[in-house]
Structure 1
Amino acid sequence: MASLRLEPPPPPPPSYHFLTASTSSSATQLHPRRRLPTYNLSLQVQKFPTNSRYVLCSSSSTSINAPSDGVEPQSSPPDEPTIPPEEGSKDSRKVVRVAWEKLVRWSRSWRSKAKTDILERTKKVVVLGGGSFGTAMAAHVAERKAQLEVNMLVRDPQVCRSINDKHCNCKYFANHQLPENVIATTDAKAALLDADFCFHAVPVQFSSAFLEEVAASVDPGLPFISLSKGLELNTLRMMSQIIPKALKNPRQPFIVLSGPSFALELMNKLPTAMVVASKDKKMANAVQQLLASKTMRISTSSDVTGVEIAGALKNVLAIAAGIVEGLNLGNNSMAALVAQGCSEIRWLATKMGAKSTTLTGLSGSGDIMLTCFVNLSRNRTVGVRLGSGENLDDILSSMNQVAEGVSTAGAVITLAQKYKVKMPVLTAVARIIDNELTPTKAVYELMSLPQVEEV
């Protein structure tokens, strides 16, 4: 009769002993005073730092647990955990290198399969509006293909001559050279004739009147890519509603382009990422092909409402962020205000049918961060000057560009009432703009709101 003698554990710390048996016999629970049946066992002892415990394990992962006082038997423990490589070690660097190489291979494979037929087939693009962003987009598209004709429809004859004679927009980018295939005109019919795509860069509040004037020259199948952000006063309409209404064509193809993008940085060819949204997936993919380049990433979306409403409301929030800066309220206040503003935008947008994921993407959080925190933002600049004590009329008269948030603020509050959403921060901005509340008083009232659960 063979017996199994178990060695007692070493002095503290206590150890956990595993005895591995190379046998196919069924497991038998051990007891300190119970004799074992006869087996030919090959035993291997492994120690683990835990309470003193004896466990007999077969090579087929069958285990025998010897419980200590009052403790129920346990199943066999898992295999020893794999210890990750130490940071900075050769193994960790290899993991990082392999992951990066996989990403690069995937990127190359994707680029090799990416379609370029849209760009190859496109012969003419028209940009409506000669402002900073319209000019930057015209330059970007023109550089995609030298044979592409890019027409800019502008109102100012001086800007028109500057673009055609000096290849620069003397009003906004006097020091930036435009590609030679960018041509300016004041003739709507000539600009729109045979165009394959149309970029709409006219400010929202002037869009209806402008489009009604040129409607007769617009082909009913011409895709309109909206660069304008905001809500139309009184009607509360977004560009997806304004364009087909003004053109008297409910089927006019519509795409919205949005995301964190300053015109100056586009002109400087700095890396930029944006999103195109359309209910027509093929149309969104076509615009993606037209615009995507080494310096511009273009994502696609079907959430037109989410992209548009985020683009409109972030301008109002940027004014609030500027006011905090102008009042020197500090970084804590800035972070709290922008976070609250993001929540308010999400509440309203989702009530209007937007996807919450859109609001955390490029056209949502991305655009909000850029507009609220960077000095190049027109709307933030308005807020800073309001917080510093300047009069709104003086601020607007001194600017050569439109700050859409000023006009949009009142429309946002009307929308909030329509959808029964409370928006304290954006409402405060609207009251400041209407001269019904001073920035300092607005801060006091916001801080005095009831303490509620975060949602």
Structure 2
Amino acid sequence: MAALLEAPPPFLNCNHLPFLSFKTSLGLQNFPSKIPPPTSLLTFTPTPAPCFLSTVISSSTSSLSISEEEEEEENEAPHSTAVAVTNTPDEGSQQDRRKVVQIAWEKLVRWSRSWRSKSNKTDLLERTNKVVVLGGGSFGTAMAAHVANRKSNLEVHMLLRDPSLCLSINENHCNCKYFPEHRLPDNIIATTDAKAALLDADYCLHAVPVQFSSSFLEGIAEYVDPGLPFISLSKGLELNTLRMMSQIIPKALKNPRQPFVALSGPSFALELMNKLPTAMVVASKDKKLAFAAQQLLASSHLRISTSRDVTGVEIAGALKNVLAIAAGIVEGMNLGNNSMAALVAQGCSEIRWLATKMGAKPATVTGLSGIGDIMLTCFVSLSRNRTVGVRLGSGEKLDDILSSMNQVAEGVSTAGAVIALAQKYNVKVPVLTAVARIIDNELTPNKAVLELMSLPQGYNVPETQLDIEVD
């Protein structure tokens, strides 16, 4: 029990702003240290013992706190618990626990309202007149619709290559290719003219697939303002150069100081279009720029947290696509839930090993843009990469799978780059390597399973890699 009280539970260790952030003194009523015997007094005041909820809340290191006025009100009214004559000791203890939970929830709500009243004083959205979205895929379209809904007189320009798709969006307010049943906001304007789309833009959302980004950006570089902030929605690694989007964009635009933000997290485009609750992370080395992106994108159904760990957010977003293919293969082969859990757990460790070697923070990998995105992509059928894996595990050929898809599965091209990156940083990644071998048609899914299961048996030490050599 003492160990439980020393640290917050794992689900609070996110890479985004902690939502449980209070000062140490909360005035919460604690659990009774002992349950009184039936013959005890009719009323009692529980003795102060460490409360699990208050321990979790007070352990936060965030600078956010409830207001001083609220603290004074809470300190003026300490709570005590009275047990009715008819109550048994168990009932009294249960009432006491419920009271603790009620008080903790009320404090959370009051803190949340107080913080929102302070943070909503920005006029960034009012000062934003034009946003350009590069690319017209499913996620780019969903984010364009989301931003356009934030402000009715905000111009959202989508730069596309397909004139017929532009016509469909401008006349019918519909992306017939990806969202035929959804009406897009009237303030979305589609165009093939890069100069017109980028002129006087306040922000740029980059949604072009990673493997095509360099050539695309080089073609429009002359129209890009050097101070235009790029918010990258693309996830993956460039196959030949092993570069991430934070490196691709400045290089292609020939501007090493191009403002950059990475947006990542568990988010399917369809659910964004349906305005279902979603949480994501914006990461930038520029704290003010990350905050600006947060203010631009955050809404009642999209929660945006900030981070300065660009490497962690990007590398987790790239590698999770490869792991999702592995998860799909397990599903396609009907290997069962035990295999799925073991494979994803091993894959998460491999991603953490490589990311931390590259300078990422472990908390980023275990947070929303890491584990959060991994869970969504590996376990939900809407995932393109997981779908590729399922079909591979069912015996289909990769070429047939890719030719039948109308969207890019980034994990297919990223897999080879991941292995090259792992070799560069001397990190062993058996699961991710197996996926790359299967994609290259050098290993069958059945053979890969046998090889992985035959790896040397070792201690399950999280911080230690397997002491083996992987071809």
Matched, 1:334 2:334: no
Match in the other structure for 1:295: 301
Aligned letter for 1:107?
Answer: S
Q: 1:91 aligns with which of 90, 96, 100?
A: 96
Q: CA 1:424–1:127 in 2, change beyond 3 Å: closer, same or farther?
A: same
Q: CA 1:219–1:82 in 2, change beyond 3 Å: closer, same or farther?
A: closer
Aligned letter for 1:432?
Answer: I
Deviation sequence 1:332-388 (CA, Å, 0-9, x none): 000000000000000000000000000011110000000000000000000000000
Could you tell me the TM-score, scaled by structure 1's length?
0.81
Matched, 1:176 2:182: yes
Shift of 1:229: 0.3
Between the aligned partners of 2:292 and 2:200, the Cα distance in structure 1 is 18
Between the aligned partners of 2:397 and 2:49, the Cα distance in structure 1 is 65
Aligned letter for 1:111?
Answer: R
Aligned letter for 2:348?
Answer: C
Shift of 1:104: 1.0
Between the aligned partners of 1:378 and 1:345, the Cα distance in structure 2 is 20
Q: CA 1:446–1:83 in 2, change beyond 3 Å: closer, same or farther?
A: closer
Extract unaligned runs of 5+ from structure 1. Answer: 1-48, 50-78
**More strand by percentage:** 1
Between the aligned partners of 2:97 and 2:428, the Cα distance in structure 1 is 50
Between the aligned partners of 1:80 and 1:347, the Cα distance in structure 2 is 45
Match in the other structure for 2:168: 162
Between the aligned partners of 1:82 and 1:112, the Cα distance in structure 2 is 34
Match in the other structure for 1:131: 137
* Structure 1 vs Structure 2 CA RMSD: 1.7
Could you tell me the TM-score, scaled by structure 2's length?
0.79
Deviation sequence 1:226-267 (CA, Å, 0-9, x none): 000000011000000000000000000000000000000000
Match in the other structure for 1:258: 264
Shift of 1:90: 3.6
Task: Report 1:228-377 matches (<5 A).
Answer: 228-377=234-383
Extract unaligned runs of 5+ from structure 2. Answer: 1-35, 37-45, 52-80, 82-89, 463-471
Q: Which has the higher contact order (CA 8 A, sep 6+)?
A: 2
Match in the other structure for 2:439: 433
Match in the other structure for 1:113: 118
Q: CA 1:419–1:166 in 2, change beyond 3 Å: closer, same or farther?
A: same
Match in the other structure for 1:144: 150
Matched, 1:103 2:114: no
Between the aligned partners of 1:82 and 1:346, the Cα distance in structure 2 is 37
Between the aligned partners of 1:287 and 1:275, the Cα distance in structure 2 is 10
Between the aligned partners of 1:428 and 1:82, the Cα distance in structure 2 is 51
Between the aligned partners of 2:433 and 2:407, the Cα distance in structure 1 is 24
Match in the other structure for 1:218: 224
Shift of 1:89: 3.9
Aligned letter for 1:273?
Answer: A
Aligned letter for 1:395?
Answer: I
Deviation sequence 1:436-455 (CA, Å, 0-9, x none): 00000000000000011223
Q: CA 1:451–1:83 in 2, change beyond 3 Å: closer, same or farther?
A: closer
Secondary structure of the 2:133 match is strand
Between the aligned partners of 2:391 and 2:49, the Cα distance in structure 1 is 58
Task: Report 1:373-412 matches (<5 A).
Answer: 373-412=379-418
Shift of 1:212: 0.3
Task: Report 1:29-48 matches (<5 A).
Answer: none
Q: CA 1:81–1:232 in 2, change beyond 3 Å: closer, same or farther?
A: closer
Number of residue pairs the alignment of both structures matches: 379
Q: CA 1:194–1:423 in 2, change beyond 3 Å: closer, same or farther?
A: same
Match in the other structure for 2:197: 191
Shift of 1:95: 2.2
Aligned letter for 2:104?
Answer: A
Share of identical aligned residues, percent? 83
Between the aligned partners of 1:437 and 1:180, the Cα distance in structure 2 is 50
Between the aligned partners of 1:394 and 1:91, the Cα distance in structure 2 is 62
Aligned letter for 1:429?
Answer: V
Of the structure 1 ranges 333-342 and 115-124, higher mean CA displacement relative to structure 2 is found in: 115-124
Shift of 1:81: 7.1
Shift of 1:213: 0.3
